[in-house]
A and B are shown apart, each in its own frame.
Chain A
Amino acid sequence: MGQYILRRLLLAIPTLVVVSILVFSLVRLVPGDVVMARLSESGYVTPEQLAQMRSELGIDRNPVVQYLDWGSGVIRGDFGKSLWDDNEVLPTIVGRMGISMEIAVFAILTAVCIAIPLGVISAVRQNSWVDYVARLFAVTGLSLPDFWIATMLLLFLSVKVHWLPEFGWYRPWEHPWQNFLAIIFPALIVGYRFSAVSARMTRSAMLEVMREDYVRTARAKGLRDRTVVVKHALRNGLIPVITIMGSQVSFLLGGLVVLEQIFSLPGMGRYTYDAVIHRDYTVVQGTVMVMASVYILVNLAIDLTYALIDPRIRYS
C-alpha cells in the first residue's frame, strides 16, 4: 500500500512537469505582456520605460532560464510574485483557496446526498415515474449552463423575493451565517451538475450490478430488498460512481471560475480569471499548477478508496 502510494506520487511528477511546461510556454506566447497591460492606463510611455519595467520583472530574459528559475522556485515552495500587484503568489493562493474549497466541499456533499439515493431509487424502480423524474433532473443538470442558472436565481431573488445575498465573503468563524449565505448558492449550482453526472452513473452502475448472479443469490437467501440493494449491490455499484466523481473535479474547478465571477467571491477561480485577463504569467502558472496537483491528489485518493469499498482490490 505504502509502496503503491509512493509509486503513484512519483508517476505524478512527470505529469506535473508536463503541465508546468505546457502552461509556461502557453502564457508566454501571449501577444503583449503584463507590462503593456499594467501601463495601458498611464498614457504615453517611452520604450525605455517599458524595457526597464520588463527587466525589473525579469521577463526579458531567455525563456528557458526563466522556466528553470521559476521551476526551481516551485520545488522549494516559492511560486514567485504576481507581475500585476507584486503579491506573493503562493500565500495569495492559500488565502483564496479556503473559499473555493468551502464551495467545493458543500457542492460535493449536496451532490452525494442527492445523487446516490436518487440513482439507486431510479435503478431499482426502473421506468417508474421516480426514474423519469430522476433522469429529467440529471439530463437538465447536464444541459443548463451554470451561469444561466445563477443569473435566473439572482433574477428570481431580486424580483420576487426582494432579497439578494450580500456579495463578498466573510470568514466562517466570524460571520458564519453571512458566510453560509455567500457560498450556498454557488455551491448548489456547481453541485447540481455534479449530482447530475453522479446520479446518471449511479443509475447505470446499479442497473448493471442488479443483474448479477450474486444479487439473485442474495435475494434467494431471503434477504430483505433493502439489504440486498444497500449492502450487496450498492457496494459494487459505487466504484464507477466514485471514479466519475474524480473526473468531475475538473468541471467543478472550471465552474468555480464562472460562479465566483458572478457572485463576486474572491476565490481561486476568480484569481485565475483575473490573471488570465491581466496576462499575469506567474499567477496563471501558480494557480494552474495548484489545480493540477489538486486533481491528481484527489484522483489518487479516489483510487485508494476503492480498497475500502471492495476488499478484493489490492494495490501492488
Chain B
Amino acid sequence: MAATPVSAEGALAAQFKRKQRHPALDVTIRVAKNPVGAVFGGMIVILIIMAITAYWITPYDPLQTSIETFRSPNWTHPFGTDDIGRDQYTRVIYGSRPALTVGILSVFLGVGTGSLIGLVSGFFGGKLDLILQRFVDGVVALPALVLILALVSVLGPSLRNAVIAIAVVSAANVSRVIRGAVISLKQNIYIEAAKTLGATNIRIMLRHVLPNVVAPILILISSSMGSAVLLDASLSFLGLGTQPPAPSWGLMLATSGRRYMETAPYLAIIPGIFISMTVLAFNMVGDTVRDILDPRLRGSR
C-alpha cells in the first residue's frame, strides 16, 4: 500500500462523513428507492385495516344465512353468495382476520423463540448446543405441513393452536440461522475483549451479540410471514385450522368453493385470490427488507 497515513485518515474521514446520515432517514431513503416494496407494503397496511374494520365495511353478518343462495356477483352481493346464502364479500373481508392473526403472531412467536434458542445454542456451544441442535434437526427433518398437522391434531384445531404449530416449525429454522450467525460473531476480537474486561455472559449476549444479529432477525421476520400465511391457509384448507362456520379463506375454498366449483366458480376463485395476494405482498415486502438490510443476498431466499 502506497497510501500515506494522512490520505488514509482523509479517506476514513470521508467514509464517516458519508455515513453520518441518521439511520431512520437512511432507511426511509432506501424504501423510497424501492417503490415495488412500498406498494406491497401499502397493500399489507390496507389488509390490516380491512381486518380491523371488517365490522364497519361489510353490509351483512358473516354467519347470516339467507334464502338467496348461489347468487353470482352482483351489486348487492359483490362476491356473490354461497350454498347457504351467506354473503361472500362479508366472509372474505372477515377471513382476513384469521389469516393475518396467524401469519403475524406465529412469525413473531417463532422468530422470538427461535432467536433465543439460536443465541443460547451458538453462544454457549458444547453439550447444550449438541442437545438443542438434535431437537432442531428433528423438527427440521419433518415436512413442515406434516408436523403442523400432527401438532394441530394433538392440540385440537383452533386459531391459537395453528399459531403455536406454525411457530414451532419456524422457531427451528430460525434458530439454525441465528446460531450460525452467533458462532461466527463469537470469533470477533471485541467479544474476547469484553470477556477480558469481566463482562457477564448475559451482558455480552445482549450488548455485543444481539445487536449484530438484528438484521438477520428482521429479515427472517419479514420473509417468513408469507409462508406462515400460506401454511395457515393449507391447514384450514385441510380442515384443521379455523373451524366452520367461522369465515377463513382456506376453509371457504375447501368447502363451498370446491364442492360447487362448476356451478359457482367465484366461490373458489375469490378466496384463492385473497390468499395469493396476501402471501405475495408479504413475500415482496420480505424481499425488499432483505435487499435493504443485506444487499449481498439480493433476490435469494
A292 and B145 alpha carbons, distance in the complex (Å): 13
Does B298 lie at the interface of the complex (its beta carbon under 8 Å from any beta carbon of A)?
A: yes
Does B100 lie at the interface of the complex (its beta carbon under 8 Å from any beta carbon of A)?
A: no
**Are A291 and B143 interface neighbours, CB within 8 A?**
yes
Task: Write the chain B residue with the least CB distance to A25.
Answer: B154
**Are A250 and B150 interface neighbours, CB within 8 A?**
no
Does B31 lie at the interface of the complex (its beta carbon under 8 Å from any beta carbon of A)?
A: no
A258 and B262 alpha carbons, distance in the complex (Å): 21
B301 CB contact (under 8 Å) in A18, A201, A279:
A201
Q: Mostly helix, strand, loop or mixed at chain A's interface?
A: helix
Give the contacts of A266-297 with B (CB-CB under 8 A). Answer: 272-273, 276-277, 279, 284, 287-288, 291-292, 295-296
Does A52 lie at the interface of the complex (its beta carbon under 8 Å from any beta carbon of B)?
A: no
**Are B144 and A250 interface neighbours, CB within 8 A?**
yes
Give the contacts of B82-141 with A (CB-CB under 8 A). Answer: 134-135, 137-141
Does A204 lie at the interface of the complex (its beta carbon under 8 Å from any beta carbon of B)?
A: yes
**A interface residues, Cβ below 8 angstroms from B:** 14-15, 18-19, 22-23, 26-27, 29-31, 135, 139-140, 142-148, 151-152, 154-155, 158-159, 197, 200-201, 203-205, 207-208, 240, 244, 250-255, 257-258, 261, 272-273, 276-277, 279, 284, 287-288, 291-292, 295-296
Chain A residues, CB < 8 A from B139:
22
**Are B143 and A152 interface neighbours, CB within 8 A?**
no
Give chain B nearest CB distance to A172 CB in angstroms: 25
A276 and B154 alpha carbons, distance in the complex (Å): 9
Does B280 lie at the interface of the complex (its beta carbon under 8 Å from any beta carbon of A)?
A: yes
Chain A residues, CB < 8 A from B149:
257, 272-273, 276
**Are B262 and A145 interface neighbours, CB within 8 A?**
no
Give the contact stretch, choosing among B8-16, B48-56, B213-221, B269-277: B269-277
Does B233 lie at the interface of the complex (its beta carbon under 8 Å from any beta carbon of A)?
A: yes
A203 and B300 alpha carbons, distance in the complex (Å): 8
Task: Write the chain B residue with the least CB distance to A139.
Answer: B283
A162 and B164 alpha carbons, distance in the complex (Å): 43
A204 and B301 alpha carbons, distance in the complex (Å): 9
**Are B143 and A145 interface neighbours, CB within 8 A?**
no
Known interface pairs A200-B299, A250-B140; A159-B262 also in contact (CB < 8 Å): yes
A296 and B141 alpha carbons, distance in the complex (Å): 7
A197 and B300 alpha carbons, distance in the complex (Å): 8
B142 CB contact (under 8 Å) in A205, A252, A273, A288:
A288
**Are A145 and B150 interface neighbours, CB within 8 A?**
no
Give chain A nearest CB distance to B154 CB in angstroms: 5
Among B137, B141, B156, B272, the most chain A Cβ lie within 10 Å of the Cβ of B141
Give chain A nearest CB distance to B142 CB in angstroms: 6
Chain B residues, CB < 8 A from A295:
141-143
A272 and B147 alpha carbons, distance in the complex (Å): 11
**Are A148 and B265 interface neighbours, CB within 8 A?**
no
**Are A14 and B134 interface neighbours, CB within 8 A?**
yes
**Are A284 and B150 interface neighbours, CB within 8 A?**
yes
A142 and B146 alpha carbons, distance in the complex (Å): 19
Task: Write the chain A residue with the least CB distance to B227.
Answer: A142
**Are A207 and B140 interface neighbours, CB within 8 A?**
no
Among B151, B226, B237, B287, the most chain A Cβ lie within 10 Å of the Cβ of B237
A55 and B138 alpha carbons, distance in the complex (Å): 31
Does B234 lie at the interface of the complex (its beta carbon under 8 Å from any beta carbon of A)?
A: yes
For the complex, count residues of B whose C-beta is within 8 A of A: 49
**Are B143 and A251 interface neighbours, CB within 8 A?**
yes
B253 CB contact (under 8 Å) in A135, A151, A255, A296:
A151
Pull 12 A–B residue pairs with CB atoms less than 8 Å apart, ordered by A: A19-B141, A22-B138, A143-B279, A145-B234, A148-B276, A200-B299, A203-B300, A204-B299, A251-B143, A254-B146, A288-B150, A291-B146
**Are B154 and A197 interface neighbours, CB within 8 A?**
no
**Are A15 and B143 interface neighbours, CB within 8 A?**
no
Give the contacts of B243-289 with A (CB-CB under 8 A). Answer: 250, 253-254, 257-258, 261-262, 265, 268-269, 272, 275-276, 279-280, 283-284, 287
Chain B residues, CB < 8 A from A26:
150-151, 154
A225 and B265 alpha carbons, distance in the complex (Å): 49
Among B134, B150, B233, the most chain A Cβ lie within 10 Å of the Cβ of B150
A254 and B253 alpha carbons, distance in the complex (Å): 19
A18 CB contact (under 8 Å) in B138, B238, B253, B257:
B138
Known interface pairs A145-B276, A152-B272, A258-B234; A250-B257 also in contact (CB < 8 Å): no
**Are A143 and B280 interface neighbours, CB within 8 A?**
yes
Give the contacts of B221-238 with A (CB-CB under 8 A). Answer: 226-227, 230, 233-234, 237-238
Task: Write the chain A residue with the least CB distance to B230.
Answer: A145
Task: Write the chain B residue with the least CB distance to A258.
Answer: B234
A145 CB contact (under 8 Å) in B144, B237, B300, B301:
B237
Chain A residues, CB < 8 A from B141:
15, 19, 250, 292, 295-296
Give chain B nearest CB distance to A189 CB in angstroms: 13
Known contacts A19-B138, A291-B142; 9 additional CB pairs below 8 A are A15-B137, A144-B276, A146-B234, A147-B250, A148-B275, A197-B301, A203-B299, A257-B238, A295-B142
Give chain A nearest CB distance to B274 CB in angstroms: 10
Give chain A nearest CB distance to B128 CB in angstroms: 15
Known interface pairs A139-B283, A204-B297, A251-B143; A258-B150 also in contact (CB < 8 Å): no
Give chain A nearest CB distance to B183 CB in angstroms: 18
Give chain A nearest CB distance to B239 CB in angstroms: 8
Give chain A nearest CB distance to B132 CB in angstroms: 11
**Are B156 and A31 interface neighbours, CB within 8 A?**
yes
Chain B residues, CB < 8 A from A254:
143-146, 234
Give chain A nearest CB distance to B88 CB in angstroms: 16
A250 CB contact (under 8 Å) in B143, B275, B287:
B143
Query: What 8 A-B pairs have minimum CB-CB distances, sorted nearest first?
Result: A254-B145, A204-B300, A148-B272, A18-B138, A143-B280, A253-B143, A254-B143, A143-B279
